[in-house]
Structure 1
Amino acid sequence: MNTATISLGASTSSQSRFLQLALAGLLGIFIVGFTGFSHIEAVHNAAHDARHSMAFPCH
């Protein structure tokens, strides 16, 4: 009887993990920057209270 080990890919390499963290950080910076400095009134009003609760200036 021949048994084989199956790898499900649960482990990630350190390079893959770094890439995921970098992309998540860039996405976060883009979202905060877009909502924080947007001149679109709907975007500004939608995120206004959240920005002030985190001490992020928007005025």
Structure 2
Amino acid sequence: MNTTVQTAGIAGLSISQRLIAGGLAFLIGMTLLYGIGFASDMRLHNGAHDSRHALGFPCH
């Protein structure tokens, strides 16, 4: 059996598709960052504490 695999690279995307993908990635990242940053559960807060401070995120 002979199979071929095709991969879609970023070069195959148009500018608008790249902007949409970048915008969605940014929104998901910021949601995660602020969701954990202002979480009331101390396990979530402490789990990401050092990385938030390294990025300059004020968490307390």
TM-score by length of 1: 0.73
Runs (5+) with no aligned partner, structure 1: 1-7
Identity among equivalent pairs (%):
37
Q: Name which structure has the greater RCO, CA cutoff 8 Å, separation 6+.
A: 1
Aligned residues: 52
Q: Of the two, which has the highest radius of gyration?
A: 1
TM-score by length of 2: 0.72
Runs (5+) with no aligned partner, structure 2: 1-6
Q: State the superposition RMSD in angstroms.
A: 1.7
